Amino acid sequence: MNQNEAPFWEALTAYARVGVLPFHTPGHKLRPGAFARLGEVLGEGLFALDPSDMVEAPELDHDFLKALAQAEELAAELFGARRSLFLVNGTTGGLHYLLMPVKGSVLIPRFSHQAVYSALVLAQGRAVYLPAAFDSQWLIPLPPAVEEVAQALAREQPEALVLTHPTYYGTVSSLAELAQLAKRYGTLLFVDEAHGGHFRFSPALPATGLECGADAVVQSTHKTLGALTQSSMLHCNNDFWYAKVVQARQVLQTTSPSLVLLAVLDEVRRVLALQGRELVERAVELGRRCARELAALPNVEVVPEHLNADPTRIVFSLRELGLTGKEVERILRVDYNIQVELSDYYHVLALISVGDTPESAARLVQAVGDVVARRAHLGREPLPRYKVEFPDLPPAALSLREGFFQDKEEIPLAEAAGRISGGFLTPYPPGVPLIVPGEVFTPEIVEYALWCAGLGWSLRGMAAEQKVLVLKENGSLCRTYGKENLVCARDCS
């Protein structure tokens, strides 16, 4: 195949060039018209490339459906897959298509992203968790150990295992070994590779999920490789499952996918095929240099390589200066006009990608150096290094799916013990859900969450006034639990 062609991009731009008089959707009729400000900022070109349907016009060489199929074949070849799909609802959409058809149980690390959890709300089987372990110094979730996964596979015989490669912090598991294990147990292996699309292009980066033997992976091409936000790719090496994925997509995807997003995916693939290695290796080098320079600054700590396998993700902390990650994020934004990807109590995560330049990386280093110099003389105490005793997984009264769709109400966290959770509650660090829908608040979970809140750690899922979502006491879900110290909050008589 000719990787220097971008059939979908070429078909769409050709359609725009011909200037067909459109009596079809969308209503903007391929020009900004009355919406002048949109035209000024977005340009005429964006509208011209935005017909809402796969117009079939083979005589004009604009057979969009055929061109899309060719574009996806080219992507499959580049990423080492049998089949690829372009996605317009991000990696979230791809994970939904992969997991919706699963009937049996699905094994996932507890720290999985909310997109995996929402996919499990759609799946027919129940979720089984590999409990969270994290590095005690950095409070970063660790990948599941091979032995632990082997035991869970033997015990649960799940239909699918979903691993995250890499995690938000750049951590990876022994994926090739885990893929072999999954095969041995007849378990499908799907990889959430939202942050790993660039792995294919540099030997300095970990092997990709497909290279390790996964059945399918989903990559946010928009996160690390330059496509427009929302655009991802699903790569599949299992024909049997691919047919199911296509069916799930029929159910879940809009019937009007943005052709601009699809065309940009195609053109990004073409450029990566020609220059991917050069571009990604440049980003890797830039990331390495940036991390080295940050680590050389006094009181700046950079997460080491054994925890972060991806040099383009720079996780650092100014905790020695008494600054929380959230504070550093705010200072960088307000005083230096720099926005990082993520922060929590200890960490800041800055991403370097194919879109960066030596100048942009140098600006970050300079800004952090400046913050360090400004703060050093204020003499703030280092942040305390808390020892985290993460509570055990709570008992599940209902499956994730059942718990998700019940009637819910907000109550104070302090009164939640014994109630069934209607939502997720996730403290950062370490970014692992304490509880998910359908599980029962234990006194330990309530106590731990209150402790995190007291430290000012962000708790995603907690509403104002320390309230949490629980299922309404409508009587039909009343249960008691075996755990001694757990009392049912309802009248179970």
Q: What is the DSSP letter of 425?
A: B
Nearer to ligand PLP among residue 191 and residue 449 (C-beta): 191
- With respect to ligand PLP, which residue has the nearer C-beta, 114 or 360? 114
Smallest distance from the beta carbon of 272 to ligand PLP, in angstroms?
17
Min CB(92)–ligand PLP separation in Å: 3
> What residue ranges bind ligand PLP (CB under 6 A)?
90-92, 113, 115, 164, 168, 192, 194-195, 220, 232
When CB distances to ligand PLP are compared, the closest residue is: 90
Cβ distance to ligand PLP smaller for residue 52 or 224: 224
Q: Smaller CB distance to ligand PLP: residue 133 or 162? A: 162
Residue 248 three-state SS: helix
Q: How far is the CB of 115 from ligand PLP (least distance, A)?
A: 4
Q: Provide CB contacts within 8 A for 187, sequence distance 6+.
A: 107, 153, 157, 158, 159, 160, 161
CB of 165 to ligand PLP, least distance (A): 9
User: How distant is the alpha carbon of residue 66 from its chain centre?
Assistant: 30
Q: What is the DSSP letter of 46?
A: H
As given in the structure block, the two tokens for residue 183 are 């095969």
**Nearest distance, CB of residue 17 and ligand PLP, angstroms:** 31
Give the residue among 204, 201, 211, 150 at the shortest CA–CA distance from 176: 211
Comparing CB distances to ligand PLP, the nearer of 171 and 187 is 171
Nearest distance, CB of residue 432 and ligand PLP, angstroms: 13
Comparison of 45 and 355: residue with beta carbon closer to ligand PLP: 355
In the complex with ligand PLP, the residue whose CB is nearer, 172 or 323, is 172
What is the residue whose two structure tokens read 């011909």? 18
Phi, psi of 423 (to 5 degrees): -145, -170
* Neighbour tally for 329: CB within 10 Å: 22
Q: Contact, 290 vs 139, CB < 8 A?
A: no
Quick one: CA dihedral 15, 19, 20, 21, positive or negative?
Answer: positive
Residue 413 neighbours by CB distance under 10 Å: 23
Host H or E run for residue 164: strand 160-164
Look up residue 184 and give its amino acid. R
- Least distance to ligand PLP from the beta carbon of 232, Å? 5
Nearer to ligand PLP, 90 or 437 (CB): 90
Which CB, 62 or 96, lies closer to ligand PLP? 96
Between CA 485 and CA 43 the distance in angstroms is 63
Question: What is the full DSSP assignment across 354-384?
Answer: TT--HHHHHHHHHHHHHHHHHHHTT-PPPPP
Question: Could you tell me which of 380, 390, 447 has the C-alpha nearest to residue 413?
Answer: 447
The least distance separating ligand PLP from the CB of residue 347, rounded to whole angstroms, comes to 15
> What whole-number distance in Å separates Cα of residue 423 and Cα of residue 458?
16
Best CA proximity match to 432, nearest among 175, 142, 153: 142
Kindly state the smallest distance separating residue 342's Cβ from ligand PLP, in Å.
Answer: 9
Quick check: 483 and 446 in contact, CB under 8 A?
no
Q: Among residues 89 and 202, whose Cβ is nearest to ligand PLP?
A: 89
> Minimum Å distance from CB 309 to ligand PLP?
14
48: alpha, beta or left? (left if phi > 0; alpha if psi -120 to 50): alpha
